[in-house]
Chain A
Amino acid sequence: MYAQMVTTEPKGGGETPEEHAFQARIDAGEKIEPKEWMPEGYRKTLIRQISQHAHSEIVGQLPEGNWITRAPTLERKAILLAKVQDEAGHGLYLYSAAETLGISRDEMTEQLLSGKAKYSSIFNYPTLTWADMGAIGWLVDGAAIMNQVPLQRTSYGPYSRAMIRICKEESFHQRQGFHIMMKMARGTDAQREMAQDALNRFWYPSLMMFGPSDKDSVHSQQSMAWKIKINTNDELRQRFVNETVPQAEFLGLTVPDPDLAWNEEKQGYDFTEPDWSEFYEVLKGNGPCNRERLGARQKAWDDGAWFRDGLTAYAEKAAARRAAAATAAE
C-alpha cells in the first residue's frame, strides 16, 4: 500500500510491566496519544510507516501532475488540480502526525531524498495517456481506500485522525477516476484503446501496492498486535481484486490476467500474483520512473532553498524589529 513494506521493529527483550500495560490499552481499543509512554519499537515503526505514507502522497502528486497542463476540458483540469492538491494536503496531515513522534518534516524529507525512506512503488510507473488519470483514480486510490479505511481504527491517535480526514477525500478521488475510465471506455475507439492500455499497465503494479505476502512474517504480527497494521497484505489484495473485477466488467474492459476466475468455495477470485522480482527492482530504485520522481523532488527541494531561507531571514528581521520596538517603548 502507500506504506507497503514497513520493517517492524522488534519489541525488545522481555515484557516489562510498562509494555504489558501498553499492550492492554491497545487490546482494549484505547488510542495512544503523543505524550504518553510507548515502546521504542512502536514509535520507530510508526515513524517509518507514517512517513512512508506521507512520502507516497507527495511523490504521488507527480504522475498525475504530469497531465494537469494537458487535461482535456476545463472541468477535468479543475477536478485533477483539486485531487492533486488533496494529495499534498494528505502529505501535510501525515507529516504532522509523524512529527508528534519526535521527527521533523525536514528530517523526513532528507530521508526521502537520500533514499533511506521509501514511498509506494506505484508512483514509479509512468502516466502515458489521459486514461492513466482514470486508472490511477480508480485503481490506485481504490487500493489506497482499501488499506486506509481499516487504518482509521489504528491505535495511534494522530495517525487514526489523519486517516479519518484522508478517507473522506479518497472516495471522491476514486469516483473521479472511475468516471474518467467510463468516459474513455464508452468513448471513441481510440479512447477505448487508451482505457484498456491503462488497465493493462496499472493492474499488476496496483496489486503490488499491498506489498508481498506477509502471512508468515513475525514482524507483521507485531505490527498487528500494536494495531498499526489491521489486515494482512493478502487479505487486502484479495478484497481489492474482488471489488475491482466487477467494475472492470462494468466498464467493458479486460483485466490482463488469463487465469482470473471466480472461486465459489472461497467466494473470491483466483488471480495471478504480480511479478515480485519486478517489485523488488522498483523498490531498489530501478522502476521506470524512480529517477524522474526522486529527481523532481530533489529539484523542488534544492530550487526552493532560497525561498525557504528568504522567509526565515524575514522572520528573524521582523522579530528583531519587534524586539527593538519593545525596548524603545520601555
Chain B
Amino acid sequence: MSADATIAPLAPARPVDDLLAAAPELRAPLVTGLCRLGDATLILGHRVSEWCGHGPALEEDIALANTALDLIGHTQMWLGLAAQVEGRGRSADDLAYHRDAMHFRNPLLVEVPNGDIGRTLMRLFLFDAWHHALLERLVSSSATEIAEIAAKALKEVHYHLDRSSDLVVRLGDGSEESHARMQAALDLLWPYTGELCFGDDTDAALAEAGILPEPGDLRSAWDATVRETLAEATLAVPEGRNDVQRGGRQGRHTEHLGYLLAEMQFLQRAYPGAEW
C-alpha cells in the first residue's frame, strides 16, 4: 500500500484558497469533506479516551491514551481547516462543541460504544486500515494544506495500524476466550465497515478535483489489509454485506452519538461564551 495507491493530482498542489477561487462551487463540499475527516477522528478519539485509567494493563492504558491524543490532534487540524474553508468565523472548537448530532459527519463505526477492550481494539484496527489507506492518498491531494496534514498524520497512523493489527492477531490467535471475544467484536462491527468506502455526490465532486479520493477507491487496499490480518488472527470474515449500517457521513447517526455529544459538549453548552 504505497506508490501506486496515490491519487494523481489534476494539477500540482495549490493552496485551498487558490483552488476555491478557481472553483467556488467546491467550498461547501470541501467543508463537508473536511468535517467527515475531523468528525471521524474526534468521535473515535473521544471513544478511545474513555479508556483512560481503565485499561487491561498499564502499557495498554498508555498506548490508548497516546492514540486518543493523536486523534484529537488530527481533529484540531481537520476541523481547523474546515472552519477556515467555511469562512464564517467559526473555530475548530465551535465545530466540535456547537453542532448537534445531525450536523456531524463521522462514519457510524466510530460512534459505536467501546464494549470490551477486544471490541475497542478491533474497531481501531478496522478504522486504522482505512485511515492509513486514506492518508497515503491524501499526501498527494491537490490541496496543499490537506497534503500537509495528511503527511503529519500518516506517521502516527502507520504506528496505530501496526499496533492494532498486531493486537488483533495476538488476541485472535490467543486463548479460546480471546479468540471468541475478537470474533464476536468483528461480527458486531462488520456491518459498519462498508460505510468507510461508500461514496456520495460530495465525495465525487472532491475526487474529481483531486482533493480527496473517491471512497470506493480505498476499498481494495482496506480489504487487503483486513483480510490478511484477520487470516493471521485465525478470525473468520463475516458473511453478508458490510455496508448495511451507514448514514453517519450524511448526518444520520445511531442513538449513541447524542449521548456522546451531551457529555463532550456539556461545558460549552452550559456556559456559553466562557473561555477555558
Which positions in A face B, CB cutoff 8 Å? 58, 61-62, 65, 68-78, 81-82, 84-85, 88-89, 91-92, 95, 105, 130, 180, 183-184, 187-188, 190-191, 296, 299-300, 303-315, 317
| Bound complex: CA A72 to CA B116 (Å) | 27
Whether B173 lies near A74 (C-beta < 8 A) is: no
| Bound complex: CA A81 to CA B61 (Å) | 11
Q: Of A88, A95, A191, A306, which one neighbours B65 at CB under 8 angstroms?
A: A88
Whether B53 lies near A296 (C-beta < 8 A) is: yes
Whether A81 lies near B65 (C-beta < 8 A) is: yes
Identify which of residues 189-204 in chain B touch chain A, using a CB-to-CB cut-off of 8 Å.
none
Whether A69 lies near B271 (C-beta < 8 A) is: no
Whether B177 lies near A310 (C-beta < 8 A) is: yes
| Bound complex: CA A303 to CA B68 (Å) | 21
- Can you list 22 A-B pairs with a CB-CB distance of less than 8 A? A61-B61, A65-B54, A69-B46, A69-B50, A71-B267, A72-B268, A74-B75, A74-B93, A75-B76, A78-B72, A85-B69, A88-B65, A187-B276, A303-B117, A304-B60, A304-B117, A308-B56, A309-B174, A310-B171, A311-B174, A311-B178, A313-B178
Could you say which of B46, B178, B268 has the most chain A C-beta atoms within 10 Å of its C-beta? B178
Q: What 5 pairs across the A-B complex have the smallest Cβ distances?
A: A304-B56, A310-B178, A310-B174, A61-B53, A85-B65
| Bound complex: CA A84 to CA B66 (Å) | 10
Closest B residue by C-beta to A301: B56
| Bound complex: CA A71 to CA B72 (Å) | 12
Could you say which of A91, A307, A312 has the most chain B C-beta atoms within 10 Å of its C-beta? A307
Residues of B within 8 A of A65 (CB): 52-54
Whether B58 lies near A311 (C-beta < 8 A) is: no
Whether A89 lies near B170 (C-beta < 8 A) is: no
| Bound complex: CA A180 to CA B274 (Å) | 13
| Bound complex: CA A201 to CA B275 (Å) | 23
Whether A68 lies near B276 (C-beta < 8 A) is: no
Residues of A within 8 A of B46 (CB): 69
Further 8 A-B residue pairs, CB within 8 A, beyond A72-B274, A74-B76, A84-B65: A69-B49, A73-B268, A85-B69, A188-B271, A304-B60, A307-B56, A310-B170, A311-B170
Whether B274 lies near A188 (C-beta < 8 A) is: yes
Q: Of B53, B55, B178, which one neighbours A306 at CB under 8 angstroms?
A: B178
Closest B residue by C-beta to A74: B76
Residues of A within 8 A of B116 (CB): 303
| Bound complex: CA A128 to CA B22 (Å) | 52
B59 contacts the other chain (CB 8 A):
yes
Residues of A within 8 A of B178 (CB): 306-307, 309-311, 313-314
B118 contacts the other chain (CB 8 A):
yes
B80 vs chain A, min Cβ distance (A): 9
B147 vs chain A, min Cβ distance (A): 22
| Bound complex: CA A304 to CA B181 (Å) | 12
B196 vs chain A, min Cβ distance (A): 23
B96 contacts the other chain (CB 8 A):
yes
| Bound complex: CA A307 to CA B58 (Å) | 12
Whether B69 lies near A74 (C-beta < 8 A) is: no
Residues of A within 8 A of B268 (CB): 72-73
Whether A306 lies near B173 (C-beta < 8 A) is: no
Could you say which of B60, B75, B174, B266 has the most chain A C-beta atoms within 10 Å of its C-beta? B174
A123 vs chain B, min Cβ distance (A): 11
Residues of B within 8 A of A72 (CB): 97, 267-268, 274, 276
B4 contacts the other chain (CB 8 A):
no
B66 vs chain A, min Cβ distance (A): 6
Known: A85-B65, A88-B58, A88-B65. A314 touches B274 (CB 8 A): no
A15 vs chain B, min Cβ distance (A): 39
Whether B58 lies near A95 (C-beta < 8 A) is: yes
| Bound complex: CA A190 to CA B118 (Å) | 41
Whether B54 lies near A78 (C-beta < 8 A) is: no
| Bound complex: CA A188 to CA B58 (Å) | 39
Residues of B within 8 A of A77 (CB): 49, 72
Residues of A within 8 A of B97 (CB): 72-73
Residues of B within 8 A of A105 (CB): 58
B21 contacts the other chain (CB 8 A):
no
Residues of B within 8 A of A310 (CB): 170-171, 174-175, 177-179, 181
Closest B residue by C-beta to A84: B52
Identify which of residues 155-179 in chain B touch chain A, using a CB-to-CB cut-off of 8 Å.
169-171, 173-175, 177-179
Closest A residue by C-beta to B48: A81
Known: A78-B73, A88-B61. A183 touches B276 (CB 8 A): yes
Whether B66 lies near A85 (C-beta < 8 A) is: yes
B28 contacts the other chain (CB 8 A):
no
Residues of B within 8 A of A88 (CB): 53, 58, 61-62, 65
Known: A72-B276, A78-B76. A300 touches B62 (CB 8 A): no
Q: Of A76, A85, A184, A307, which one neighbours B57 at CB under 8 angstroms?
A: A307
Residues of B within 8 A of A307 (CB): 56-57, 60, 117-118, 171, 178
B44 contacts the other chain (CB 8 A):
no
Could you say which of A62, A85, A296, A299 has the most chain B C-beta atoms within 10 Å of its C-beta? A85
Residues of A within 8 A of B42 (CB): 74
Identify which of residues 235-276 in chain B touch chain A, using a CB-to-CB cut-off of 8 Å.
263-264, 266-268, 271, 273-276
